[in-house]
Structures are given as structure tokens and as C-alpha cells.
Structure 1
Amino acid sequence: MTEVDHNDSVAAAGAAIEAAVAVFMLHPQTYAGSVAAGYENPLAGYIVGRGGVLGDATGATVASVFTVFEPTVVAALWDEGLTVRDAAGAAEVYWNQAAEFGRAYLADAEAPDRLAALGEKLIAAAPTWGLPLFAGWRAMPLSDDATARALQVMFVLRELRAALHFNALTLTDLTPIEAHMLNKGPQYAAMFGWPEPFADGADKKDSYDEIEQATDRRMAQLFAAAFDDGEAAELSRLAGAALATLKANVPS
């Protein structure tokens, strides 16, 4: 099938995977796990955990890869996190947290083994050039059990789409803060460390739309390269079902 045939599945799968992994990343249980692992500030655990696959990097380098976070905040949290354990160790802790979250809350999800298998096909079909976080997480060993593996695979797929999205952003006249404001608004921008006043980018909505379209076009190409007939739609459906399961099972 062509990438055009995959457009609806690409958009639906991307939205469901982003939301499902965000449930894990933003949940108080995950923050508590970071504190239990020794990170007094759970945000430091998040930054050094998610960025740990970049290896022995500077805070400025990590901030450049994270792209849409306020860079001085990222650099400070990275340095703080490294006082607890090194980058590789932090990534392993965060990866294990993702696995445990999947085990706890995807136990009654529809076909997590199939979700993981389809996601792994897409991951294998994707190149790694210009996608450092995706490349780093793709190299991490996946859990053997289906529920843990399913959430880890969605995590890697989220990094794939995010990296493509960030690359598309760099080719426009939009700044990261303007992209935030055009996407989810001031509360979201503040969550990523940006200080007020926020530049709203109201006159650049066409640029933001171009970023979304470019990201989806590239993802559609990867779907077309990875999947046989029906598999793209199946991944989209199973990702949506996994998100619904998480929303039903994860305590608020």
C-alpha cells in the first residue's frame, strides 16, 4: 500500500501512542518511582532517564535534542540527575519503570503481543539518521512479557514521531515556544519550562500546519515500508485500545 492509503491510520496511531506514553510519563506513580530511585526532583529523573540513551553528553547537547523544552531548564535538570547515577544507568531505571507500568495497567489490553510485534516492524523499518533519541531507545532491550513490551514499543514509536516532528520544526520559522502555543497553549508551554510572556505565534499557524503535515507524510512513508495490507489499521486500532485500557485502569 502507498503512504496515502495509510494517512488515517498514521494520524490515529500517532495520537493514541503519544497519549498512552504520556499517561506513563506524567503519572504521579512514575514521579514517585523516580524519587524512590534517588532523584529528589522527579523531573531530573525524567530528563536524565529519557535522555540517558544519549550517553555522556552535556546538558546543552541534551537540550538541543529535546528541542521543545526550555534549554537552560533541561541542562540544569540533566546535571542534577547525573549526580544520582550515570546516563546509561538512568535510562535503564526509566526503561524498567515503563515496563512495570505496562505490566500493571495493560494486563487486560487487547492483544498486547500483537501490538508489540506490529510496532517492532515499524521500528525496524525506520532509519535512525537525525533521530538520536529514537536511535538510542531502539537499541534498548525489550522486555519478554507482552504487556511490558507493548508499552516499551509504544515509547520507542513515540520517540520516532517526536524526532521527525522536531526535525520538521527546525525547517520553519516557528520557535519551540510558538509551536507550544499553537498546539496546546500556555499551560503546556509552562510545563515545558518556558517563562512568560509567551510568544503566541498567532501569525504562523500555516507553518505549524506544515510541520504536522510533514511529520505525517514521513510517518506514512514508514508505515508503507513496514506494513502489509491491513497491518497499519490494526496497529492504529490496537494502540487506541491500549490507550483506552490505560485510561480505565490507571488510578487518577
Structure 2
Amino acid sequence: MKIFDCIAAVARPLHDVGDEFMSDGTTAAVGLRAGFSPGRGFYCRGRFGVLGEAPVPVVQAVQGFLGPDLVTTGWLAGRDVMAAEDAAACYAEALREWGHAHIPADVDVEHFNHLAQRLIDAADAASLPLFAGWRAQPCPADDPVGAAMQRVHVLREHRGACHLAAVRAYGLTAQAAMVVNLGVEQAAHYGWREPQPVAADLIPRWQRAEQLTDELQAPLYTALTDRQRTEFARLVDALTASPTR
């Protein structure tokens, strides 16, 4: 499989399974057990905790696509519960727990982990701090299923960071990109206050940003052979095809 064919095959499944994890009630329950109140505290403090005790504007700048009010409320709400580093570790535990509940038992997670780690190791993390933070997060060697889900998240953060850079390169705001991609209602759900439909001439910019995102990810996939890329795409398809969804 050629590089861009592989990227096209895996981008949506990796994104969508990450979305499912983030919005799942069982994920929220992990946060509640850890002492977080209902709301976005565990999500913000956990996902962005790899940045350390950063000020709110820094967190907002790094993650980009969520509305400022959502990030501010969530990040500050979680600050009194646990340190950022501990929250990130707790979030990683939630990822692994979710993986055990949702990754089909017949998936060759050992092979997925081998190929996914080659991609992760091949990435140049310059200008991608959220990805870099998650790449540095310890991943247990004795839990291949949980590690597979954690690596899914790391790869998802890589594409998200590349997409934010691409969107800005084409002169789009993150809010406009969210509206083009998901619509006004979903943009509001993700914290943007009273988002409005975007001008039609911005849509081609977003499409070019999507293409640039693929191009920014391409160097990772040179780490795999054509055959390995085919295997990786097949494994991603199998891993994200949980019968519980």
C-alpha cells in the first residue's frame, strides 16, 4: 500500500475511535472515581496534562480546536484534584481500560503495537507539543491491549497537531475549521460560543488543509514498507471494528 493510501485508510478510524473513548460514560467514570467532578475537568486535565502546569492560554494555543471557555473551565476545574502529570497518567489508564473493553479479542495487538511504535518513533515532534507529550507518556510493555489503545491516542494526537498547523497555514481559524468540518451545532458542542456558518470560499482552504495534513504525516509512513502499510491499515480496521459499537 502506498503512503497516502494508507494515511487515507487509517485517519478516520483512528480519529473516530478516539472520539468514542473521549465521549464514553465509562471514561468519565474513571475521572469521577479519581475525584473529578462531572463535566470537562478530567478530559481537559487528563488529555492536556502532558503539557505540565501550563497557563490556560498556553493549553488553549496548543490544543487549538476546542473553544476557549471549555478549555478554561475544564483545565481550572481539574487543577485542585490532582497535578497535571498525575492527571495525564490517570487519563492514560482510562485509555488502556477502554481498550480492554472495546478492542476485539482476535486482533493481533502485538503486531499493531510494533508497527504503530515505528510510526510514532519516526515522527518529528517539532511544533507538535501535545503529540510530543503523549509520545513521552510511559506505555506498559506488559499490557499489549491497553498499550494498543494508548498508541492509537498518540497517533491521533499527531494528526490533530498536524491538522492545526495546516489549518493555520491556510489562513483559517480553528473555529472556522470546526464549522466547515463538523457544522455549527457540533462546533458549539465543542465549546465555541455562537459559531456561525463560514463563507463558501473558505471550504476549499479547509480541503487544502486536509491535504497538507496528509503531507505532514507522510514522513511517518516512510518508516513502513508497502507490505507493512497494508498490514497496518488492516490492523487499524480490525482494532476499531468493535462489536460493542
Which TM bucket (shorter chain)? over 0.9
Deviation beyond 4 Å, 4+ runs, structure 1: none
Alignment of 1:101-250 (within 5 A): 101-143=98-140, 144-224=142-222, 226-245=223-242, 248-249=243-244
**Aligned-pair distance for 1:82?**
0.7
Alpha-carbon distance in 2 for matches of 1:218, 1:172: 14
Alpha-carbon distance in 2 for matches of 1:201, 1:149: 42
Gaps of 5+ in 1: none
Question: How many residues of Structure 1 are paired with residues of Structure 2 in the alignment?
Answer: 244
**The one of 56, 74, 83 aligned to 2:71:** 74
SS at match of 1:142: coil
Q: 1:178 to 1:102 in 2, by over 3 A?
A: same
**Aligned-pair distance for 1:196?**
1.5
Root-mean-square deviation (CA, aligned residues, Å) is: 1.5
* Percent of matched pairs sharing the same residue: 35
SS at match of 1:136: helix
Alpha-carbon distance in 2 for matches of 1:207, 1:109: 41
Q: Show CA shifts across 1:107-154 (max 9, x none).
A: 514211111111000000001110001100101111222111110011
Q: Show CA shifts across 1:177-215 (max 9, x none).
A: 211111111232012101214242422111101110001
| Mapped contact 1:168–1:215 kept (Cα < 8 A) | yes
Q: Show CA shifts across 1:210-241 (max 9, x none).
A: 110001112122201x1123111211111111
Mean Cα deviation higher: 232-241 or 86-95: 232-241
Q: Show CA shifts across 1:75-97 (max 9, x none).
A: 22111111111100110110000
Alpha-carbon distance in 1 for matches of 2:39, 2:104: 26
Gaps of 5+ in 2: none
Question: 1:48 corresponds to which residue?
Answer: 45
> Which amino acid letter does the alignment assign opposite residue 209 of structure 1?
Q
1:7 aligned to 2:7? no
SS at match of 1:249: coil
TM-score by length of 1: 0.92
| Mapped contact 2:104–2:239 kept (Cα < 8 A) | no
| Mapped contact 1:107–1:147 kept (Cα < 8 A) | no
**The one of 11, 26, 29 aligned to 2:23:** 26
| Mapped contact 1:64–1:71 kept (Cα < 8 A) | no
| Mapped contact 1:35–1:42 kept (Cα < 8 A) | no
